[in-house]
Amino acid sequence: MRVVTSVAAMQRLAMEWNQSGSPVGFVPTMGYLHAGHVSLVRKARERVGKRGVVVVSIFVNPTQFAPTEDLASYPRDLQRDKKLCRGAGVDIVFVPGNPQMYPAKPGANFSTYVVEDALSRGMEGLSRPTHFRGVATVVAKLFNIVRPDIAVFGAKDFQQAAIVKRMTRDLNFPVSIIVAPTVREPDGLALSSRNKYLSADERAQAAALWQAIRQARQTVRASTQPIPASRLNSELKWLIETRPAARVDYIEFFDPDTFQPLAKVERGAHIALAVFVGKTRLIDNGRI
């Protein structure tokens, strides 16, 4: 396994692979890797095969954090990440620094961003207004640097994956986007680097996100009629906030293709939610 820190060096390798016909699978991450990330790596390897190359990027992208968010405290452990990548069969770990990705020189500051203007309006887009601009920008940059044939994202970030798919289509990136299933703990909590922030008591309460998704699914599937979203929203909010550390940011029911919110919920709809457990903000989603 090789660690690359330079954009120019990464681009040179990518051009060599493209010229030799070696398929490239790519997993972009912000590090502090866990079993969910490893599942994405395995999916990438499955798609490109033994003759292909699997690249994992580790970059805590500052442009997707608002000034009030946890950029400075976001968990980092590069040595552990490299060990996990080596064990998972990664070929290249790309670890650029901020100056590599966002050069800042007198008269030449970074000033170009990518904005998706339909799927990003609700949910995370409302709660974190600059977030998806940062995500789309860094993913576009990484695609231009790594030149992958396929890129693998996790379904836990359902809205993000949809936006990346749309950007890839609209801007004609020659990349196939794969969305892999969410990996969960035995109690249903979706694996996330931010789970590290939770105390033992908060960790137990965080299972409420998955319990709410399951409750929504059971309620809708047991009904012969569509259920008003406002009613279901209130019931799930009450369920979650019976936990003393939990506070709902949003619960949204929407069409998974258009991301339009739904007034009535029936089978085939999608639920997404964001919940503060203590000071930690967690997200999850699921098909109903």
Catalytic residue positions, numbered? 37
Instruction: Give residues with Cβ within 8 angstroms of 254, minimum separation 6.
Output: 122, 123, 260, 261, 262, 269, 270, 272
Other Cβ atoms less than 10 A from the Cβ of 225: the count is 8
Ranges assigned E (strand) in the chain: 2-4, 24-29, 53-58, 92-94, 150-154, 176-180, 227-228, 246-254, 264-265, 270-277, 280-287
Structure tokens at 132: 């998806």
Looking up tokens 């949910």 gives: 123
Check if the beta carbon of residue 116 is closer than 8 Å to that of residue 167: yes
Three-state secondary structure call for residue 92: strand
Computed from CA positions of residues 42, 44, 45, 47, in that sequence, does the dihedral angle turn out positive or negative?
positive
Structure tokens at 135: 């995500």
